[in-house]
Chains A and B, each alone.
Chain A
Amino acid sequence: MSAYIISGLVLGSIYAIAATGLVLTYKSSRVFNFGHGAIAFLIARMYYQFAQVWHWNSWLSAILTIFVFAPAFGVFLWGFLFRHLTNSSQIVRLVATIGLFVAIPAIAELIFGYDPTLNTLGLAGANPPVYHVFGVTLNLDQVFVLGFAGVVALALGAMMRFTTFGLLIRAVVDSPTVSRLVGTDPQRVSMGAWALGATLAGLAGVLLTPLVTLDVDSFNVLLVASFAAVVLARMENLPLAFVGGLVVGVIQQIVTKFVPADSVALKGIVPSMPFILLVIFLFFWGSARETVGSRAAAMGVNPDAEKEDITTTTVRRQRSFLRSLTPIAVWGVILAVAVPLYMNSFWLGLFSEGLATATIFLSFTVISGQAGVISLGQSALAGVGAIAVGQFATAFGWPMLPSVILAGGCAAVLGVLVAVISVRLGDLYVALTTLGMGLLLENMVYTIGRFDNFSIGVSVTPPKLGPIDFSGKNTFYFLLLGVFCVLALVVWNLKRSSTGLELAAMRSDPVRATTLGIRPWRLKIFAFGLAAFIAGVGGCMLAMYQFRALPENFATTIGLVWFAVVATLGLRSIAAALVAGLTFAVFPQIISDHLSQTFQTLPTALFGLGAIAVARHPDGVVAMHVQQYKWVKRKLSGLRHRAPSVPDGVTEAPAA
């Protein structure tokens, strides 16, 4: 047993260091950094490059990457991004950090190249010496982990209590406003906190490297484990987060002891422990803090919901019915006529893929655009749809149409389940819950042999309906177009209906909405169910395009890239979902056609940067360009026109 505890402490120490950095930046700037693991990965990759590829001294490399580059990178992120998010809503901040999550590893690969090595070394170098402690075998790398964790804990504790910087951080965390009143600029302190947070992430990354392979997935586990730790600590303070990390690590290792090695059913549990713990902690500890007497949380309404919203592109009234038809007519002509007529078979295939992806993206339009909820598990739901249709249509041999609908239904049931679990949580915790559920599905359901089929997947073929065989390129394209149109119509109906009005009201001012009789939790559960159904059907379509239902094509990390793409183009509009789907299919192909293999991750990097750009300009990328265009126009015509200004300092209205 003690062996498991000690190895749990080793793993837990890394989680603890990462979790501490996460809570530090969260408390001092209110930004929950989804990109925390990505920063760890970047620093680790850089360390690998210096120490193993260029053969620099490993300690020198560590110092350069962890204590020089990482803090500089933290300051850069603060200056370029986080400083501008102080007054943004939680959703905007989520989108920005998800953009980091997507962009940073892609950029790291662009810079350092892809090196699929499994032989990564830590500070202890190759063949580290082994020690026997309390009947446990530890190598030097693991001893370093424990050592550094101890040093970090002591150093941070001392810093907080005894240094000026520590005092400043505690003051800013306690009250940014009072800090300003005594003459301290909270932004400056925030900058320091980001430098320190990035350093801690970097340290965790470098320490993790010898224990796992140097790939993004392992670091995602680190990320989620640190999420679990901070949720356990209720985001309150650094020491609790540190202890939370240790607890997560120990539990993860102890579970290994109790899972029989040959059990196929439980095989997925061990690597999933961080995700399982995250979901459990969220469920028990995550309820929005209900002040005695406040009903808001109990109704599925986040009492701290702010008005500015990533899903709000420049607030426009809904266009009249006729005016909305114009873009539809244009798109209709392009997609139904021009594309099949003028594109060759290869490009037709890409557009088909784009349409299937766009169908999945419609689910974002429903859950995020309409209901205002960030769901990071849509890819998992699409995967469930794909798996289900593989079973129903191929394994059971049922006809295709009912199989697809049933597959959508399976996804919908899961979606409703997630909704029920998370309905009382605030924006951030809902995002985390959907992320956790997605990862759980991926690790426990996707890996089931029957579905995964040795990474080949279950074959799925386009159906024959009556005389029409949809396996032909053209007919299949029209099938996908038809499915997209039907679901787009459903979403369009929703937007323009009374329920759409209720959703708009709920998004804008959830508390006011309840006093009119609107029931937010009901709306959200419905939205989750509908979005899941759409995602499931989209997953079926994508599986048909790929001729197989392969779960790993629906990984949660891919889902986050999807989210970044749609967020960039517009979470609210159906057209944006369509363009996003087509872009996602077509753009990487264009890149790989014209640029060499080294630029393979460029599209992903751009998608991530796009999400970040949108977070900086929540009115939408289009509106941003419109603003820039207008600015240029004004300059050219020589007019100095001062736009009506709302005072910048308006952040707080007076208390009654």
Chain B
Amino acid sequence: MTATVPVPDTASQDAAEVVAQASGISVSFGGVRALIDVDISIPPSAIVGLVGPNGAGKTTLLGVMSGLTRPSAGRVAVGGADLTGGNPQKFAARGVARTFQHAGLFGEVTVRDHLVLAHRLVHRNHHILTDILGLGYGPRSSDENQTVDEVMHTLGLDDCARRLPNEIPLGTRRLVEVAQALLCQPRLLLLDEPSAGLDTAETQAFNKVLQQARQRYGFSVLLVEHDLDFVLAASSLLYVLDFGHIIGVGAPREVLNSADVRRAYLGSSAAVPA
């Protein structure tokens, strides 16, 4: 069975090549302008943070990067291919995977089956007609069981393989989301506030797993977060959104110390005490 998603080959990638790029993105909902002329560029094998106050447009931007929200202006490209105006399925086929704030997963599907489903969707190795004729039982490809089991083991999900989402704690559900994303062989993983509802220890554990997975598989991450400690620890590049505009981009610590960003967050340019 051949993979239909080309796997990012990090070794040979040109330093200037980007995994995903959005330029000139504007989005309006009714009379509200959620994003105004936003440019964002994700380098290969990097974790890029996206922060900003409430209502800044972070979730909207994630929607644009995953095909759930159509921009009224601008271009979106993933892996060099122009996906502007494409539906989420096109984005998925191009290697974009994402998590959601509500981490509900699929309520009636066991943890393992979440991963099995992702694997089969990526490999497109099943068909409706063969399924109803009873030819669709069991693993659909020779490596399915092995791959699924290994990812579950990696993320520590062995114990809850047969559990339903409402039987496992929130932190574990977020890991299942990531595991499902990994099985989609992503080149870009969009994380929507993964630390919401988690305490500090759980957030740090999540960060560790994320780093390991990224190192291993070489995908890039766009991390939307409120938890600034987490973002500082995890990301190598930071964008700051405020009222739909990008007001800062660069190395995380420097960006957070810039005057514009401080004003947006604190309401003034007061220096942050040492």
Query: Which residues of A does B touch, CB under 8 Å?
Result: 291-296, 298-299, 307, 312, 315-317, 489-490, 493-494, 496-502, 504-505, 507-509, 511-519, 526, 530, 653, 655-656
Contact = CB atoms under 8 A, between A and B. Distances in A.
Nearest to A311: B108
Given A497-B126, A501-B117, A508-B109, A317 B164 contact: yes
A489 to B, nearest CB: 7
A315 B70 contact: no
A291 B30 contact: yes
B140 A517 contact: no
Interface string B62-93: 01001111111000000000000001110111
A516 B121 contact: yes
Contact of A516 (B28, B58, B68, B92): B92
B240 to A, nearest CB: 16
Contact of A498 (B27, B68, B87, B117): B117
Contacts of A512: 100, 104-106
Contacts of A505: 106, 109, 117
B72 to A, nearest CB: 6
Given A315-B164, A496-B137, A530-B132, A508 B108 contact: yes
Contact of B59 (A292, A496, A518, A656): A656
A514 B106 CA distance: 12
B88 A497 contact: no
Contact of B162 (A292, A317, A496, A501): A317
Given A493-B133, A498-B136, A293 B72 contact: yes
B235 interface: no
Interface string B106-138: 111110010011101110001010011110110
B236 to A, nearest CB: 24
B108 A295 contact: no
B237 interface: no
B54 interface: yes
Contacts of A511: 68, 100
Nearest to B114: A505
A655 B98 CA distance: 19
A227 to B, nearest CB: 28
B242 interface: no
Contacts of B108: 312, 315-317, 504, 507-508
Given A292-B30, A509-B104, 15 more contacts: A293-B28, A293-B63, A299-B88, A489-B134, A501-B116, A509-B107, A512-B104, A512-B105, A516-B118, A516-B180, A516-B184, A517-B92, A526-B128, A656-B193, A656-B226
Contacts of B72: 292-293
Contacts of B23: none
Nearest to A515: B88
B166 interface: yes
Given A489-B134, A515-B66, A656 B101 contact: yes
A257 B43 CA distance: 70
Contacts of A307: 104, 107
B42 interface: no
Contact of A494 (B68, B70, B131): B131
A494 B131 CA distance: 6
Nearest to B104: A509
B69 A294 contact: yes
A615 to B, nearest CB: 19
A499 B136 contact: yes
Contacts of A299: 87-89
B87 A499 contact: no
